Structure 1
Amino acid sequence: MIESILKRYPKERRFLLAILQDIQRTYNYLPRKALNEVREYLDIPLSSLYSMATFYRALSLKPKGKYVIRVCDGTACHIRGSMNLLEEIKRELSLLPGEITPDGKFSLETVNCLGSCAIAPVMMINERVYGNLKPDMLKEIFSSLGGEENG
């Protein structure tokens, strides 16, 4: 699969970010094997890959869940109860920020802003935004994704 991604790009360093983004979309993180293949393909040091992978927050060296939950903890969301959402996620999925569920279904991150202050508190699951949230709404949202209570 990595080979098919690499074949879409010329062997030029300027395509590195695009290649890493495609790998991230495919695997939901950047596997070491993939980084080694990119290193060989572009003939660049592995340190350059790690430098880029750790600089961009959208890239991850750690596996993420099938559903990546991002809870906004910016000012508007914090004031309107984002911490209560995090507590409910902990109850429902036994999940803390930076963790992934044992089945690999969910991972949780907190972010500084999702740019949706008018509908705070807000969370995003993959590319979908959920606003005006209350903790009692989360169980139904997770169930709609095929999630079940883990705890």
Structure 2
Amino acid sequence: MKRERIEELIAQEVEQIIEGTALELVDVEYVREKNWYLRVFIDKEGGVGLDDCQAVSEKLSAVLDETDPITDNYLLEVSSPGLDRILKKDKDFIRYAGRDVDIHFFKPYQGTKDMVAVLAGKSADGMLTVRVDGNEETIDMKEISQIRLHIDF
């Protein structure tokens, strides 16, 4: 089974597990590093705790043991997306409008591969609107490899 199909299948299972709770599914990753990892990122208003992650992990493990959709050996990790979470879903762009974001480009954009900007929004046609140094810019999402919340230290 292809990696993308596994991620879709796991996302559907997790959505069923968290239905009716305050939890939301942020992302699912099935990646090979040294080993295969199945990573599930969950969140809720006020942040998730260890108990939330453990409960989802136990329920998902039981489902995966029963259905066995993944033939490879893998490690399951359930966690929060972190303070510098990746923005992927339309609701992320709505929720975090007005916040600073780190934008990483596939190739240089206006001479840089990385930019910090204020998120203004994302249109239905895939255009990201940001403010940089007080000026509003519109960037095609096809040029962007990743957008994360910016953390100021």
Normalising by structure 1, report the TM-score: 0.31
Higher helix content, 1 or 2: 1
Normalising by structure 2, report the TM-score: 0.31
Higher strand content, 1 or 2: 2
Higher RCO (C-alpha under 8 Å, 6+ residues apart) = 1
